[in-house]
């Protein structure tokens, strides 16, 4: 029995009734594997165009950490027009389920540079990450605004770059409002969903979060607060100011601790 067969057998034993976790045969009649050579050249060209290098260095990296990026708008129930750069929840949610199930992946590094987006999608992703059994660390670079705040605090540990910003402001709407009090009540409930998630997963108090949310002295056409780097740490939203090295070191440490407790 070769190593592939051994691995395959092991996977089947662990999950005898789960067809999702059984290894697929490497070759199967009828599968168009003849495309592979052509595909390789297409991907090389795409890599040069998108990344500036023909080959993305993956082989030298240990693959027990999965890096997920959340950039631009978090896109949820509606497809946003094409000028928006988006992260779609239908891509992220099954990937998180796959990470949780994967035997190779031991930790998640969440890199955030988001302007916010759909409340339901943002909270769905945040809930998925916060309920994972594997260690996770977030790193905010550039910005983690609006619904990006729950996404920033949903991991086991969070870092913010010293130049990164977080805008804390309440949800809002524009356009026709039918039934003022009812609309207010609805928005109040929606805001509570977000605020409760933040206070449950960060060390900021509800009182302090509300002060930041309804601050009228910082933003010209909006209520709220902009926190830059260490401000987010001082207010108890983020654990530490740091960059890539710190985030990866912390994640590796959490993975080691998890391995130790699993024994």
Partner 1 sequence: MILHTIVDSNLIWKNQDAEPVKTIELIWQGVPMEVIKKDEKTVVINRILTTNLKHYLNPSIQPGMEITYTLTSRE
Binding site for partner 1 (CB under 8 A): 19-21, 24, 28, 31-33, 35, 38-39, 42-43, 46, 58, 66, 73, 76-84, 88, 90-91, 94-95, 97-99, 101-102, 105, 115-120, 122, 143, 145-147, 167, 169, 171, 173-174, 187, 190, 194
Q: Count of CB atoms within 10 A of residue 195's CB?
A: 19
Q: 111 near 139, Cβ under 8 Å?
A: yes
212 or 242: CB nearest partner 1: 212
- Report the SS3 class of residue 200: helix
134 or 145: CB nearest partner 1: 145
User: Minimum Å distance from CB 263 to partner 1?
Assistant: 26
Nearest Cα neighbor of 75 from 58, 95, 62, 93 is 93
Catalytic hit among 136, 152, 158, 169:
169
Catalytic hit among 146, 152, 158, 195:
146
106 or 118: CB nearest partner 1: 118
Q: State the Cα–Cα distance between residues 211 and 67, nearest whole angstrom.
A: 34
User: Minimum Å distance from CB 31 to partner 1?
Assistant: 6
Q: State the Cα–Cα distance between residues 25 and 62, nearest whole angstrom.
A: 24
123 or 254: CB nearest partner 1: 123
Mark whether 169 is an active-site residue.
yes
Residues constituting the chain: 263
Q: State the Cα–Cα distance between residues 221 and 215, nearest whole angstrom.
A: 12
- Active-site positions? 146, 169
């Amino acid at each position: 029995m070769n190593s592939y067969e051994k691995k395959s057998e092991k996977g089947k034993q662990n999950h005898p009734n789960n067809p999702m976790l059984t290894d697929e045969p490497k070759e199967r009649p009828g599968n168009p594997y003849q495309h592979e050579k052509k595909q390789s050249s297409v991907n090389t060209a795409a890599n040069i165009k998108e990344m500036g290098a023909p080959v993305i260095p993956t082989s030298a990296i240990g693959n027990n950490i999965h890096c997920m990026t959340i950039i631009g708008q978090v896109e949820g129930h509606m497809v946003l027009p094409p000028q928006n750069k988006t992260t779609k929840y239908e891509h992220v949610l099954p990937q998180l389920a796959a990470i949780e199930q994967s035997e190779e992946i031991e930790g998640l590094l969440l890199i955030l540079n988001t302007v916010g987006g759909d409340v339901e999608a943002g909270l769905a992703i945040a809930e998925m990450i916060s309920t994972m059994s594997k260690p996770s660390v977030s790193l905010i670079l550039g910005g983690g605004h609006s619904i990006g705040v729950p996404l920033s605090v949903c991991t086991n540990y969070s870092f913010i770059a010293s130049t990164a910003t977080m805008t804390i402001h309440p949800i809002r709407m524009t356009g026709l409002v039918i039934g003022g009090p009812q609309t207010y009540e609805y928005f109040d409930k929606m805001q509570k969903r977000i605020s409760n998630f933040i206070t449950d997963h960060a060390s900021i108090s509800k009182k302090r979060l509300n002060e930041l949310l309804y601050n009228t002295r910082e933003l010209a056409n909006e209520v709220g607060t902009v926190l830059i780097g260490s401000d987010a740490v001082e207010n108890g939203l983020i654990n530490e100011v740091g960059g890539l090295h710190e985030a990866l070191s912390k994640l590796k440490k959490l993975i080691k601790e998890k391995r130790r407790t699993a024994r």
